[in-house]
């Protein structure tokens, strides 16, 4: 009997470890994505689109419009990668079954795509364009605070003090990494309120996305959930935002058709693969360790991005990387060493969701 | 019900209010969904694990599994639908079990 209890605890520990591993994969792949993600800006047709709009509407507008086209192509290559992934896993039939459950399930992934796509990504680029790159990075690092708060109150998920402390230490680590750039951005005198709004959009967008996706993931498989979320994002970019930009007079279609250059296509494919599987891992972590922990560890992308860009592109980071990296490791250890049996169920016993469930069960008897 | 997603069907099975061992539910769904391979079995089993982690199923008993089924040292779990699981199941249109 004692042996059974030990094996039972081992199983839970293994489940929690898989969840953390998934969140770590997400952080590594998210960091890797910054290599193709940054390279796209200097490749045709995106650099030419940016130059053309800068000449007519200024640099900040050019940045946002180019960001829309890059994000749209990024979403397109992500959905191709995810379709191949689901095809390989033999999940198309389950996907068809899930799509048909629009009201019970798929609507959450479409909603998540609005928050994680146009709101968070555009917000991040707006913050970059109107305040600075370091400010945009720091603002985005705040998203687990929103995500874990929402998952606590709305989904009724457990967030222990220890997990919250780990999240806060990782965020402080991220702040330290970008500290020098952040000071430059905030004291340059060119920052505008639109940029700060963009920062809030990024933090809230990704935070809310996690909580909303968590609701859909309750009753569906993560591989399918993430594919539906990107299906939604593609619809938003290609059927709503790109046509609106074209109607507004921006030459987005002209440049979009010039994307078929071998180097650009290769870099777009790399972006699609890294971003797609980063999201697969992110969504797979939520049902196993909860939205707050998944997002907290996912936040380690801040350090991986700087390290990968240094290794592959040669941009030497500030010395604060060491301090930030140390804090990120401490924050992760605080979370990894949490007693896993406490996570047997991610749902709080006193959560509003549970209380409501109990009330409704009592009412029906 | 096999025209609905697998997690929906698992919740429906547990909506009868009784305890069910995971291997019984997995075997039942493998037949219903035509997922008879080892991969299909593990995939359905992982769905049950996710539902339990999400607080919709509660583990009430545990016993050692045959090593040929889920590998050495694997366990079988008996689960019961929680109040929260019942509420989520009702929300997604599952009214009775079976």
Q: Residue B30: is its pLDDT beyond 50?
A: yes
Which three-class secondary structure state does DSSP give residue B76?
strand
Provide the residue ranges of all domains of chain B, joining segments of one domain with +: 7-90
What band does A365 get if pLDDT is binned at 50, 70 and 90?
A: very low
Angle at A279 between CA B93 and CA A117, to 5 degrees: 80
The per-residue pLDDT for B2 is 66
CA-CA distances (angstroms) from residue B69 to A26, A146, B75?
31, 42, 10
Q: Residue A59: is its pLDDT beyond 60?
A: yes
**A236-247: average pLDDT:** 97
Q: Residue A274: is its pLDDT beyond 80?
A: yes
pLDDT tens string A286-299 = 999 999 899 999 98
Contacts B76 to A, Cβ<8 Å: none
Instruction: Tell me the pLDDT of chain B averaged across its residues.
Output: 90
The per-residue pLDDT for A357 is 56
Instruction: Give me the residues of A, 215-244, that contact B with CB < 8 A.
Output: 217-221
Nearest to B6 by CA among B37, B39, B38, B45: B45
What band does A67 get if pLDDT is binned at 50, 70 and 90?
A: very high
Instruction: Give me the residues of B, 19-58, that contact A with CB < 8 A.
Output: 39, 47, 49-50, 52-56, 58
Contacts A100 to B, Cβ<8 Å: 3-4
Whether residue A344 and residue B59 make contact (CB cut-off 8 A), yes or no, is yes
What band does B34 get if pLDDT is binned at 50, 70 and 90?
A: very high
Instruction: Tell me the pLDDT of chain A averaged across its residues.
Output: 88
What band does B98 get if pLDDT is binned at 50, 70 and 90?
A: low
Whether residue A358 and residue B83 make contact (CB cut-off 8 A), yes or no, is yes
Contacts B91 to A, Cβ<8 Å: 104
Domain B7-90 has CATH 1.10.10.10: yes
The answer, for B73 touching chain A at a CB cutoff of 8 Å, is yes
Nearest to A330 by CA among A201, A167, A214, A212: A167
Q: So what's the ipTM on this one?
A: 0.93
Query: pTM for this structure?
Result: 0.90
The answer, for B59 touching chain A at a CB cutoff of 8 Å, is yes
Please tell me the least confidently modeled range out of A57-71, A211-225, A322-336. Answer: A322-336
The per-residue pLDDT for B1 is 57
pLDDT tens string A135-175 = 888 888 888 989 999 998 988 888 888 889 999 999 998 88
Residue A157 carries which DSSP code?
A: B
The answer, for A7 touching chain B at a CB cutoff of 8 Å, is yes
Q: Which of B84, B88, B90, B96 to mutate to test the interface with A (most CBs of A within 10 A)?
A: B84
Residue length, chain A? 365
Please tell me the least confidently modeled range out of A38-47, A166-175, A224-233, B59-68. Answer: B59-68
CA-CA distances (angstroms) from residue A123 to A118, A142, A202, A363?
8, 13, 5, 44
What band does A364 get if pLDDT is binned at 50, 70 and 90?
A: low
Q: Which residues contact A162 (CB under 8 A, 6 or more apart)?
A: A334, A335, A338
What band does A340 get if pLDDT is binned at 50, 70 and 90?
A: low
């Amino acid at each position: 009997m004692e042996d059974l209890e030990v094996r039972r605890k081992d199983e839970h520990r293994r489940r929690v470890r898989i969840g953390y591993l998934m969140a770590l994969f997400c952080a590594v792949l998210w960091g890797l994505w910054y290599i193709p993600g940054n390279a796209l800006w200097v490749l045709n047709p995106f650099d030419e689109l940016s130059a053309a709009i800068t000449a007519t509407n200024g640099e900040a507008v050019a940045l946002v419009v180019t960001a829309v086209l890059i994000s749209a192509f990024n979403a397109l290559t992500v959905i191709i990668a995810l379709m191949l992934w689901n095809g390989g896993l033999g999940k198309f039939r389950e996907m068809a079954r899930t799509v048909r459950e629009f009201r019970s399930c798929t609507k959450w992934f479409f909603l998540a795509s609005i928050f994680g796509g146009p709101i968070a990504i555009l917000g991040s680029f707006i913050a970059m364009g109107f305040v600075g790159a370091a400010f945009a990075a720091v603002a985005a690092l705040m998203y687990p605070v929103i995500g874990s708060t929402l998952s606590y109150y709305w989904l009724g998920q457990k967030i222990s003090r220890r997990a919250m402390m780990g999240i806060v230490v990782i965020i402080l680590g991220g702040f330290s990494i970008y500290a020098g750039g952040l000071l430059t951005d905030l004291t340059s005198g060119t920052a505008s309120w639109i940029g700060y709004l963009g920062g809030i959009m990024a933090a809230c967008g990704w935070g809310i996305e996690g909580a909303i996706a968590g609701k859909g993931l309750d009753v569906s498989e993560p591989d399918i959930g993430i594919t539906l979320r990107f299906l939604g994002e593609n619809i938003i970019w290609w059927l709503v935002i790109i046509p609106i930009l074209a109607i507004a007079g921006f030459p987005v279609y002209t440049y979009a058709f010039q994307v078929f250059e071998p180097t650009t296509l290769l870099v777009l494919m790399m972006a699609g693969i890294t971003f797609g599987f980063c999201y697969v891992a992110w969504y797979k972590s939520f049902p196993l360790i909860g939205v707050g922990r998944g997002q907290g560890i996912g936040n380690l992308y801040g350090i991986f991005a700087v390290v990968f860009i240094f290794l592959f592109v040669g941009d030497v980071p500030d010395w604060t990387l060491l301090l930030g990296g140390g804090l990120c490791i401490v924050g992760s250890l605080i979370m990894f060493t949490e007693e896993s049996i406490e996570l047997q169920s991610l749902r709080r016993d006193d959560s509003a969701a549970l209380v409501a469930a109990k009330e409704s069960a009592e009412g029906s008897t | 019900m096999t025209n609905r997603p697998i997690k929906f069907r698992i919740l429906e099975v547990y909506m009868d209010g009784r305890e069910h061992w995971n291997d019984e539910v997995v075997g039942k769904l493998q037949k219903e969904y035509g997922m008879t391979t080892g991969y299909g079995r593990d995939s359905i089993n992982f769905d049950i694990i996710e539902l339990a982690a999400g607080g919709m199923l509660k583990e009430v008993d545990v016993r050692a599994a045959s090593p040929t089924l889920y590998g050495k040292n694997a366990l079988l779990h008996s689960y019961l639908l929680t109040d929260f699981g019942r509420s989520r199941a009702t929300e997604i249109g599952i009214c009775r079990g079976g």
